[in-house]
Amino acid sequence: MYLLTIDVGNTHIKMNLLSDEDKEIAGFRLTTRTPRTSDEFGLSIREFLNANNLTREDVKDVIISSVVPKVMYSLTSSIVKYLGKEPIIIGPGIKTGISIRTDNPREVGADRIVDCAAAFYTYHRSCIIVDFGTATTFDYVSAEGVFQYTVIAPGLETSATALTSQTAKLPEIEIRKPESILVKNTIAGMQAGVVYGYIGLVEYIIRRMKRELQDEDAMVIATGGLGRVIAEETSLIDIYEPDLAGKGMAIIYQRNKEKASA
């Protein structure tokens, strides 16, 4: 039996099947910005299962983390209709094991809560989680499991898009790092500016957070689709976890199951 985790971000919807040992068996992505009916979601989920020689009976439960409210009705309806499950949705009333002490805890997205839960309960120490998505978030969870401080910057791809959309003659570019910052053409120059500039942004924010927190030993964990591009280029990121959200949802799922059975 497998747990289906669904991470609904602003750009992609990522579905993972996890074993009882929380190992990823298979993954699947959809674009978030394409409107879908419950049947379209349901058929996509069914095809995902079929491609891995599984049926709805192989799914023991479904848990969802979402920052896009407008897709939730169709998505949750599809799970009830096609899988026969009432999904667990990360939100108020769900036991996460993370204490949120921001000015307005209700404005903290579910994606950041599951990232913090995954980091804290995996490494059992203070962490800075850098999530490279549409926006890049830098979230600090203390050694006591308290999420209190955050920094939010434009995402790497968002920055590149802004550069091309706001200028008349600059073309769209692939996000990749030139071998040198000294380049001789426009496209490579844009790539150098975006990627090397973003490395500088990430390193400065991490250093500044550690200094003001007085926590130089905080572990820095990168996640998100473009996280690998930056993580490979700086020693300030300790580890790249491509599916930190999935791990966090599995941890939260287990905590709520234990609570229900207690």
pLDDT in tens, 92-117: 778 899 999 999 888 898 999 999 99
The pTM assigned to this predicted structure is 0.89
Q: What is the per-residue pLDDT for 261?
A: 58
Name the helix (H) or strand (E) containing 61.
strand 59-66
Using alpha carbons, select from 86, 11, 16 the residue that is nearest to residue 45. Answer: 16
Looking at domain 99-248, its CATH superfamily turns out to be ATPase, nucleotide binding domain (3.30.420.40)
208: left (phi over 0), alpha (psi -120 to 50) or beta: alpha
The pLDDT assigned to 68 comes to 93
Angle between helices 156-165 and 186-213 (to 10 degrees): 140
Q: Is the confidence at residue 70, as pLDDT, over 70?
A: yes
d(CA 142, CA 198): 26
pLDDT band at 260 (very low <50, low <70, confident <90, very high): low
50-74 average pLDDT score: 94
For the cut 60, the answer to whether the pLDDT of residue 262 exceeds it is no
Q: Select the more confidently predicted residue: 91 or 213.
A: 213
Domain residue extents for the chain: 2-89, 99-248
Closest alpha carbon to 66 in 27, 13, 19 = 13
- Model pLDDT for residues 107-143, shown as the tens digit of each residue: 898 999 999 999 999 999 999 999 998 899 999 999 9
State the architecture of 2-89 in CATH terms.
2-Layer Sandwich (3.30)
Distance separating alpha carbons of residues 246 and 45, to the nearest angstrom: 17
Catalytic residues: 111
- Greater pLDDT, 105 or 239: 239
pLDDT range class, residue 259, cuts 50, 70, 90? low
